[in-house]
């Protein structure tokens, strides 16, 4: 019976267009229209993740270096482990040595992990695991909690632009967030032009109630090439959200407020329009957007639920 099914499948694959063959292969499952865009996005990003590119290589380089790094911090580290990870990392470092990424700080960091791993294999007796100095935070819980409670999603802004220096600082704190396997996939696309910001805001559902002056518009994206689709299809959204939380809290220290705009209900035209306005490449999935600016007045804080 299995051989017959396999034979029939091969015949149908040859005779039918691929989209109809997939329908037959999946048992004629009819997908509701509101799921189709999710499935199409997943397939699009899966295809991109399968293609070779320096962008994919650098994301995977960070991943494999991170895996080795975990072992190199262990006091019981022994030679012979993680050989396939080592080989993958060595291959990627070699490929990236001829690209612009060879000057990236994470490339140099990954090289150091490779060297430390090789030293463990050659001379395990003299191996000393990585061990950083103890750190005590200079920020009290009370101060941090106060900052967290201070953060608000304001929608009415002063006619005052955010400086490029502040934007650089905010990008920096987003970059320091935790990410899955240290891939560091976050890419931020920002305009500080109020007119362009307004056009970008028009692409977002829920972008209502704002003042006429829109100081700065941000698209929070993740490069999809370093993920294994579809098993890791939710990780880009987690990785970007971790970075965004850093950014919005840091913005408060500059007196800047950030309002998150959901991207979950976007349609194809809105996505194409926003990607065109901000020159966002195809391999970056937009997770959500935000408007940032100096609030004309503070929105009142909503009451929070009881954590008990």
Listed by start position, the domains of the chain span 2-50, 54-126, 151-293
In the numeric block, which tokens belong to residue 222? 């993740």
147, 149, 152, 157: CA torsion to nearest 10: -50
Q: What pLDDT sits at residue 229?
A: 86
- pLDDT band of 7, cuts 50, 70, 90: confident
How many other C-beta atoms are found inside a 10 Å radius of the C-beta of residue 140? Answer: 9
Mean pLDDT of 215-227: 97
Residue 25 has pLDDT above 90, yes or no: no
Return the CATH number of the domain spanning residue range 151-293.
Answer: 3.40.109.10
- DSSP assignment, residue 108? H
| CA–CA gap between residue 115 and residue 36 (Å, rounded) | 47
- Cα 183 from Cα 66, distance rounded (Å): 9
CA distances, 21 to each of 15, 71, 135 (Å): 9, 45, 58
| pLDDT above 70: residue 23 | no
Q: What is the CA radius of gyration of the chain?
A: 24
Q: What is the pLDDT of residues 244-291, one digit of tens each?
A: 999 999 999 999 999 999 998 899 999 999 999 999 999 999 999 999
Go through the chain and tell me how many residues it has: 308
Q: What is the pLDDT of residues 64-120, one digit of tens each?
A: 999 999 999 999 999 999 999 999 999 999 999 999 999 999 999 999 999 999 999
Is residue 258 a contact partner of residue 220, using CB atoms and an 8 Å limit?
A: no
Distance CA 221, CA 237 (A): 9
**pTM of model > 0.75:** yes
pLDDT score recorded for residue 15: 79
Question: Residue 1: which pLDDT band, with cuts at 50, 70 and 90?
Answer: low
Strand pairing of 284-293 and 216-223? Answer: antiparallel
């Amino acid at each position: 019976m299995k051989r017959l099914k396999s034979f029939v499948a091969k015949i149908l694959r040859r005779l039918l267009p691929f989209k109809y063959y997939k329908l037959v292969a999946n048992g004629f499952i009819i997908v509701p229209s509101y799921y189709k865009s999710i499935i199409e996005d997943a397939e699009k990003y899966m295809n991109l993740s399968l293609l070779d590119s320096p962008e994919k290589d650098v994301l995977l380089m960070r991943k494999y270096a991170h895996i080795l790094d975990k072992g190199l911090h262990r006091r019981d580290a022994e030679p012979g482990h993680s050989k396939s990870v080592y080989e993958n990392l060595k291959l990627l470092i070699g490929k990236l040595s001829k690209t612009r990424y060879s000057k990236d700080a994470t490339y140099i960091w990954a090289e150091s992990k490779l060297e430390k791993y090789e030293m463990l294999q050659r001379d395990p007796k003299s191996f000393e695991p990585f061990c950083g100095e103890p750190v005590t935070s200079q920020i009290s819980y009370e101060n941090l909690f106060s900052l967290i409670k201070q953060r608000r999603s304001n929608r009415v802004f002063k006619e005052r632009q955010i400086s490029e220096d502040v934007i650089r600082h905010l990008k920096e704190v987003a970059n320091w967030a935790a990410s899955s396997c240290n891939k560091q996939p976050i890419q931020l696309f920002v305009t500080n032009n109020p007119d362009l910001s307004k056009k970008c805001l028009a692409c977002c559902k829920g972008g209502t109630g704002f003042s006429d002056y829109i100081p700065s518009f941000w698209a929070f994206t993740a490069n999809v090439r370093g993920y294994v689709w579809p098993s890791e299809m939710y990780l880009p959204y987690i990785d970007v959200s971790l970075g965004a939380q850093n950014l919005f809290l840091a913005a408060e220290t500059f007196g800047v407020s950030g309002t998150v705009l959901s991207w979950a209900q976007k349609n194809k035209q809105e996505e194409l329009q926003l990607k065109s306005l901000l020159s966002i490449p195809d391999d970056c999935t937009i997770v959500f957007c935000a408007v940032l600016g100096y609030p004309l007045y503070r929105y009142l804080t909503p009451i929070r639920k009881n954590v008990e």
